[in-house]
């Protein structure tokens, strides 16, 4: 039986009884096949698996969707149990952020670009909650999706800079049959918007095709993606980036691997996606 715990002390106690290595899958819940893939991978590689379900208030901006972010714990548990998760940590915000807590983690420049530029403070919230969750769960390995590519860069920097003894495992993006990256936020889309949403994936595939044909001018790739997305009336570009995969510096000329990422609004819903060109 899957066990749900909601306090830090219960989680620490449950953790002590788990055979190692322990794998950890942090999530905000309202799970889909992408999250379940992370859990299954953890189950294959670790003896015990802990998942967390926590809609973390500190990573949402004041005008973002914290209050209306979808939540459905019973459904989430019915997906995690068959994936082999033994313990789910599901704290309230007041458990994670005690009154008077004032310490936050600032990861530096990689956290300020792209998502960080559009969502100020987002990665400060992410880095802080992930460090706290690592301290509570104390996993040997933690599983993150390539879907949130910049989050992976930030978390890898966090564990390297602060000597946190957790292996970060990155899992490829799980997509719908039409290429749309699975996301809890896809449930915000109405039928017409849902039809428009694969434009992100089409733009990434077009960039990849051009790159495969030998195009190395990053500005041209950005321009081509902009035109493709602008042809979709429901889509509004937030950013389109062709960047170094570790520093996230924007590139002019592509020499080594590059991270092509974008954020696009479809109606009021902000979607992100990415691919790596020339990666391992
Ligand atoms: P979230 O609940 O959105 O915070 O996501 C929890 C974890 O699942 C993060 O590491 C995400 O990158 C990962 N994830 C979300 N969507 C996908 C997807 N479509 N494919 C793979 N991993 C995903």
Q: Is 127 exposed, middle or buried (0-12, 13-18, 19+ CB in 10 A)?
A: buried
pLDDT at 98: 95
Which residue is associated with the tokens 């066990």?
A: 3
DSSP at 52:
E
For residue 236, the model assigns a pLDDT of 98
Active site residues: 35
- Collect the ranges in the chain with pLDDT lower than 70: none
Ligand 1 site-directed mutation target among 26, 27, 39, most atoms within 8 Å of CB: 27
Q: Rounded to a whole number, what is the distance in angstroms from the first to the last CA of the chain?
A: 38
- Would you give the distance in Å from CA 239 to the centre of its chain? 17
Task: Tell me what pLDDT residue 248 has.
Answer: 97
Residues forming a β-bridge with 168: 142
* pLDDT given at position 30: 98
Out of 27, 119, 122, 145, give the residue to mutate to test ligand 1, the one with the largest number of ligand atoms within 8 Å of its CB: 145
pLDDT (tens digit per residue) in 182-240? 999 999 999 999 999 999 999 999 999 999 999 999 999 999 999 999 999 999 999 99
| Global model pTM greater than 0.85 | yes
pLDDT digits (tens, 9 = 90+) for 72-87: 999 999 999 999 999 9
Sorted by where each starts, the structural domains of the chain and their CATH numbers stand as 3-171 (3.40.50.620), 184-272 (3.30.1300.10)
215 Cα to the center of ligand 1, angstroms: 30
Q: Which residues of 141-178 are buried (b: 16+ CB within 10 A; e: fewer)?
A: bbbbbbbbbbbbbbbbbbbeeeeeebebbebebbbbee
Ligand 1 center to residue 147 CA distance, Å?
A: 6
Residue nearest to atom 12 of ligand 1 (CA): 145
Distance 138 CA to ligand 1 centre (A): 20
The residues that bridge with 141 in the sheet, in sequence order, are: 23, 167
User: Tokens in use for 250?
Assistant: 């924007």
């Amino acid at each position: 039986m899957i066990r749900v715990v909601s306090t830090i002390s219960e989680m620490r106690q449950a953790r002590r009884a788990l055979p190692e290595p322990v794998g950890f899958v942090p999530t905000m819940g309202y799970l889909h096949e992408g999250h379940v893939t992370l859990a299954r991978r953890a189950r294959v590689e670790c003896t015990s698996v802990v998942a967390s379900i926590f809609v973390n208030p500190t990573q949402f901006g004041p005008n973002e969707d914290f209050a209306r972010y979808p939540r459905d714990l019973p459904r989430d548990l019915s997906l995690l149990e068959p994936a082999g998760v033994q313990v789910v940590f599901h704290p309230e915000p007041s458990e994670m952020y005690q009154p008077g807590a004032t310490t936050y983690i600032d990861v530096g420049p990689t956290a300020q670009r792209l998502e960080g530029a559009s969502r100020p403070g987002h990665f400060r919230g992410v880095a802080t909650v992930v460090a706290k969750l690592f301290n509570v769960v104390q996993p040997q390995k933690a599983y993150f999706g390539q879907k949130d590519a910049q989050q992976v860069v930030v978390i890898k920097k966090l564990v390297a800079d602060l000597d946190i003894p957790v292996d970060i495992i990155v899992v490829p993006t799980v997509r719908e049959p039409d290429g749309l990256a699975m996301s809890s936020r896809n449930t915000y889309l109405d039928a017409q918007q849902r039809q428009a949403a694969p434009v992100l994936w089409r733009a990434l595939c077009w960039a990849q095709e051009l790159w495969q044909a030998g195009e190395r001018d990053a500005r041209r790739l950005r321009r081509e993606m902009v035109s493709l997305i602008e042809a979709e009336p429901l889509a509004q570009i937030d950013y389109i980036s062709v960047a170094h995969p570790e520093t996230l510096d924007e590139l002019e000329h592509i020499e080594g691997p590059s991270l092509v990422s974008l954020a696009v609004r479809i109606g009021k819903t902000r979607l992100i996606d990415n691919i790596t060109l020339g990666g391992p």
